[in-house]
């Protein structure tokens, strides 16, 4: 990619993020969370958001190094107590119905070596304090999108065999542009078509109303109950104002909420998971009555233990997502060490909170009502990848009959 070509692509990407990602409309407040390394992209997104009529664009700058310093050295009371002004700030965003853009570019191992207790303490404190913002986002009351930018350390982890940092970063950008359809003549139109394809898939599954899914693969034999009136969703979603947005770009999944109390059997992960600045590999879980009763990981076992100990909901599932193995991201054969990409290359599940919109009428329900309907509640939501070319999935109907959904990693 020449510099001119790169700049043209970055411009198209910024437009896509503002126009399709959060679908900025006149009068919207837009909050962008982005690393200081990605300032050029942040500026372009800001400009496009204002061009589309945003009332205000608020930047939340992040930095891997400073975050690591904070988590390593800050007084422990600063880890445990989130100041009131941060809570007020996020409540203000929620009250304005602010759209959220998260641009992820972090080093997957940014926090390696930091005391996992301190990281878990901080995550738990922010998780509790910023609950309103999380609930508004998870119920799609506001528009939100997660997109990527090629951070240097991240690119080095994905492309260790390329000679220079510039080559690594360029290779990662190339993948980002390809998977977000920036290489297409009209990315906005390409996303409209892609959204339709996934919405049709979700509609087919909604018609079936399976009571459970049965997963089999080497190291996996798991039955996942689905709640009554669950809804499968494709790429695009609607916020409380009825405006369409795209929660993830790229996205290849259709997903729904499992019944948090009806998961039985065992399953193993098929790709590494970058969580809390650490890479966790080869995870194995055993479930009984919805709960993780046994687990292990080759690397990062203590971090996984911390994740599961976040709260009761962290030991239960909150998402089942189907992604065919022949998806473009999977076929690239690249391990991205970033959930936004790796989850779109593979069937995946999530530990933690379920999305309220995955249940009919769910966005109008209280937390207690959602829980009673079988939708897991938790401070956390972490996807992990379980799909492979060897995976079969059957849908089980109320009368016990079975319908093949996946055979050898692809739609049956
Ligand atoms: Zn997902
Ligand atoms: Zn998820």
CATH number for the domain harbouring residue 22: 3.40.1830.10
Shared domain check, 168 and 218: no
SS3 at position 147:
strand
Check whether 277 has a pLDDT greater than 90. no
Ligand 1 mean position, distance from CA 139 (Å): 15
Contact 145/132 with Cβ under 8 angstroms? no
Contact 393/405 with Cβ under 8 angstroms? yes
Ligand nearest to the CA of 342: 1
Ligand nearest to the CA of 386: 1
Shared domain check, 405 and 312: yes
Question: Vertex 127, ends 263 and 290: CA angle to 5°?
Answer: 5
Shared domain check, 112 and 25: yes
pLDDT digits (tens, 9 = 90+) for 24-77: 999 999 999 999 999 999 999 999 999 999 999 999 999 999 999 999 999 999
Q: Does a structural domain hold residue 195? A: no
Q: Does a structural domain hold residue 357? A: yes
Shared domain check, 271 and 215: yes
Q: What is the mean pLDDT of residues 390-395?
A: 97
pLDDT digits (tens, 9 = 90+) for 212-236: 999 999 999 999 999 999 999 998 9
Ligand 2 mean position, distance from CA 253 (Å): 10
pLDDT digits (tens, 9 = 90+) for 329-346: 988 889 999 989 999 989
What is the reported pLDDT for 191? 95
Backbone angles phi, psi at 381, to 5 degrees: -155, 105
Q: What is the mean pLDDT of residues 149-161?
A: 97
β pairing state of 29-35 and 402-407: unpaired
Ligand 1 mean position, distance from CA 340 (Å): 8
Shared domain check, 139 and 265: no
Ligand nearest to the CA of 382: 2
Ligand 1 mean position, distance from CA 275 (Å): 15
Ligand 2 mean position, distance from CA 145 (Å): 12
- Taking all residues of the chain, what is their mean pLDDT, rounded to a whole number? 95
Ligand 2 mean position, distance from CA 30 (Å): 22
Q: Is the model's pTM score more than 0.85?
A: yes
Ligand 2 mean position, distance from CA 383 (Å): 5
Shared domain check, 140 and 225: no
Q: CB under 8 Å to 68, separation ≥6 — which residues?
A: 110, 111, 114, 277
Q: Does a structural domain hold residue 200? A: no
Check whether 409 has a pLDDT greater than 80. yes
Ligand 2 mean position, distance from CA 343 (Å): 8
Ligand 2 mean position, distance from CA 247 (Å): 10
Q: Does a structural domain hold residue 202? A: no
pLDDT category, 328, cuts 50, 70, 90? confident
Ligand 1 mean position, distance from CA 386 (Å): 12
Contact 327/306 with Cβ under 8 angstroms? no
Ligand 1 mean position, distance from CA 248 (Å): 9
Shared domain check, 142 and 215: no
Structural domain boundaries, residue 321: 209-233+250-411
What is the reported pLDDT for 139? 86
């Amino acid at each position: 990619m020449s510099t001119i070509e790169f700049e043209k692509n970055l411009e198209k990407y910024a437009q896509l993020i503002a126009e399709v990602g959060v679908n900025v409309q006149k009068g919207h407040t837009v909050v962008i969370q982005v690393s200081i390394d990605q300032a050029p992209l942040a500026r372009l997104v800001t400009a496009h958001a204002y061009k589309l009529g945003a009332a205000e664009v608020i930047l939340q700058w992040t930095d891997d190094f400073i975050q690591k310093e904070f988590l390593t050295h800050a007084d422990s009371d600063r880890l445990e107590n989130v100041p009131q002004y941060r809570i007020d700030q996020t409540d203000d965003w929620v009250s304005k119905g602010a759209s959220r853009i998260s641009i992820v570019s972090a080093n997957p191992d940014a926090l390696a070596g930091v005391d996992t207790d301190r990281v878990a303490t901080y995550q738990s404190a922010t998780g509790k304090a910023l609950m309103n913002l999380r609930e508004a986002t998870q119920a799609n009351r506001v528009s939100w999108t997660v997109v990527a930018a090629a951070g240097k350390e991240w690119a080095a982890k994905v492309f260790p065999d390329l000679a220079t940092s510039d080559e690594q970063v360029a290779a990662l950008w190339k993948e980002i542009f390809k998977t977000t359809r920036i290489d297409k003549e009209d990315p906005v139109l390409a996303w409209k078509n892609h959204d339709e394809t996934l919405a049709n898939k979700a509609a087919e599954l909604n018609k079936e109303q399976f009571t459970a899914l049965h997963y089999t693969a080497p190291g996996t034999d798991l039955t996942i109950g689905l709640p009554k009136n669950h809804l499968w969703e494709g790429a695009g979603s609607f916020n409380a104002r009825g405006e369409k947005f795209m929660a993830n770009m790229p996205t290849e999944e259709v997903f729904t909420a499992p019944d948090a109390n009806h998961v039985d059997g065992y399953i193993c992960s098929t790709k590494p998971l970058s969580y809390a600045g650490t890479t966790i590999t080869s995870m194995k879980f055993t479930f009984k009555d919805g709960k993780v009763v046994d687990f292990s990981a080759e690397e990062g076992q203590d971090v996984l233990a911390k994740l599961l100990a976040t709260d009761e909901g962290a030991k239960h599932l909150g998402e089942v997502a189907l992604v065919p193995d022949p998806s473009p991201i999977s076929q690239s054969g690249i391990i991205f060490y970033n959930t936004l990409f790796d989850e779109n290359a593979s069937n995946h599940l999530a530990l933690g909170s379920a999305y309220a919109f995955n249940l009919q009428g769910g966005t109008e329900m209280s937390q207690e009502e959602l829980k009673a309907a079988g939708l897991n509640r938790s401070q956390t939501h972490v996807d992990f990848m379980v799909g492979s070319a060897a995976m079969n999935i059957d849908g089980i109907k109320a009368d016990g009959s079975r319908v093949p959904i996946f055979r050898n990693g692809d739609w049956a």
